[in-house]
Amino acid sequence: MENSAPLRAESLIRSIPDFPQKGVLFRDITPVLADADAFREVVDRLVALARQLRPDRILGIESRGFLMGAPIALELGLGFALARKEGKLPADKIREEYALEYGTNVLELHSDAVRPGERVVVVDDLLATGGTAAAAGRMVQRLGGTPAGFLFFIELEFLKGRSRLEDYPVHSLVRF
């Protein structure tokens, strides 16, 4: 299902040590976003993967998941839902606490973001420990939807986040 051709965008990912805290090697995608051809390449590959998962809706995780997920939704002619950090959504919402590679956080989702029976593809820029994605998947289920799969631009394999999503298709374009 995944395209095995080299991804030019991979060479643009910048590695920044000790950000946001000591011991973390941050993978910065802003150079990819700044290069229209590279960004298009990433979106096109993610669209192809999403199409095969037959979603009814795309859900992007704050904030870089919005950058990847919104163009996928547009390309597929689907609605787009936002999983946001606590306190950012104005209407009735559900919340889910989760652990990430350097702390804990809370995600929220509008209560009407997913309709019962919908197949939802969850999109983010990075899969690390899988806590954020798993929290988004649990919220989709709480609203009566089904996680159809999870798509990521980058996967940090050594953090084994994929194992937290093992009941679903998981695809990443670049692995470190």
Query: How far apart are the C-alpha atoms of 60 and 85, rounded to whole Å?
Result: 12
Give yes or no: 57 in active site.
no
Query: How far apart are the C-alpha atoms of 122 and 134, rounded to whole Å?
Result: 10
- CA dihedral of residues 72, 78, 84, 88 (deg, nearest 10): 120
Give yes or no: 8 in active site.
no
Instruction: Specify whether the CB–CB gap between 173 and 7 falls below 8 A.
Output: yes
Which residue in the list 27, 45, 64, 84 is annotated as catalytic?
A: 64
Which residue in the list 75, 101, 119, 138 is annotated as catalytic?
A: 101
User: What residues are labeled active site?
Assistant: 64, 101
